[in-house]
Amino acid sequence: MSWDSIFLFANYWAFAGWIALAFLPRSPRILAAILYAGVFLLCLTYTVLVVGFLSGGIDPGGPGGGDFTTLKGVMKLFDSPGGATLGWVHYLAFDLFTGMWIARDADQKGFSRIVQFPFLFLTLMVGPVGLLAWLIVRERRARAMAKK
C-alpha cells in the first residue's frame, strides 16, 4: 500500500469517527465504537509505523533516519512520505481522543450539541486550539457543578 493510500485511509477513518461523534447519539455503544474502531485503530497504525521505522523494517519512502530528541531529528523524521504519514496519524488519533473527551465532558456538564460543535470542529482542525477553547469555556460550569 502506498503512503498516499495510508494517509487517505487514516484521514477517512478519523473523519468517520468525527462524524459519528458530532452527529450520532452518544450511547455507550457508539462511544465504544468511536474509541475502539476509531482511536484504537489509529493508535495501532501509529504503533506499527513507529516500530517499523525505528527498527528499520518499514521504508519511510525517503531519506529516513532522524529521532525525537532534537528539532533537526524530528524534521528529518518528517522529511519523507512515511514520516509525514506517521506524524499525521499521531495527530488524528490524539485529536479524535481529545474530541471524545470534550464531547463526553460537555454532555456531563449539560452543554447542547450546538454549543459543542464549534469546539469539536476546532479540535478536528487545530487540535490544541479547540482543547484550549473548551477548557476556558467549561471552567465556569465545572466550578458551579463542584459547589453543588
Domain that holds residue 17: 3-100
Confidence check: pLDDT of 119 > 90: yes
- Residue 60, in any domain of the structure: yes
- Residue 117, in any domain of the structure: no
- Residue 107, in any domain of the structure: no
- Residue 64, in any domain of the structure: yes
Residues in Cβ contact with 46 at an 8 Å cutoff, skipping those fewer than 6 apart: 86, 89, 90, 93
**What's the one-letter identity of residue 131?**
L
Query: Does the reported pTM lie above 0.75?
Result: yes
Q: How far is CA 73 from CA 7, 30, 59, 81, in A?
A: 22, 39, 17, 16
Q: pLDDT of 15-51, one tens digit each?
A: 999 999 999 999 999 999 999 999 999 999 999 998 9
Number of domains in the chain: 1
Q: pLDDT of 49-98, one tens digit each?
A: 989 988 889 888 887 677 778 999 888 888 889 999 999 999 999 999 99
Question: What's the pLDDT at 60?
Answer: 85
